Amino acid sequence: MSEPLAEWVRDILRCPVCGSPLRDGVRPDGAPEIVCTGDACALAYPVRDGVPVLLVDEARPSSGTVR
């Protein structure tokens, strides 16, 4: 399993869709992810080998996603 993202990295990254900050999360399979904090967006992006994959095609809707 990958390690969670370093806090300083997460603090400077923003959601590529809406520009909202990201928070740490865990995918259903236990792998780390980062989740958009924007109410209308709330996409969850995977973290692979400690690297966030901020591609919309790789994101999944998280709870609270409106679209």
Average pLDDT over residues 30-59: 91
Q: Within a domain: residue 29?
A: yes
pLDDT at residue 67, rounded to an integer: 47
Asked if the model's pLDDT at residue 11 lies above 60, the reply is yes
Tell me the mean pLDDT in the region 24-37: 91
Give pairs for 9-15: CB < 8 Å, separation 24+.
9/52, 10/34, 10/52, 13/52, 13/54, 15/41, 15/43, 15/54
Asked if residue 52 is part of any domain, the answer here is yes
Whether 2 maps to a domain, the answer reads no
Higher per-residue pLDDT: 55 or 6:
55
**67 part of a folded domain:** no
pLDDT at 37 over 50: yes
| Prediction pTM value | 0.82
Distance CA 9, CA 30 (A): 20
Domain of residue 37: give its range. 7-61
Which comes out higher in pLDDT, residue 33 or 66?
A: 33
Domain membership of residue 18 (yes or no) is yes
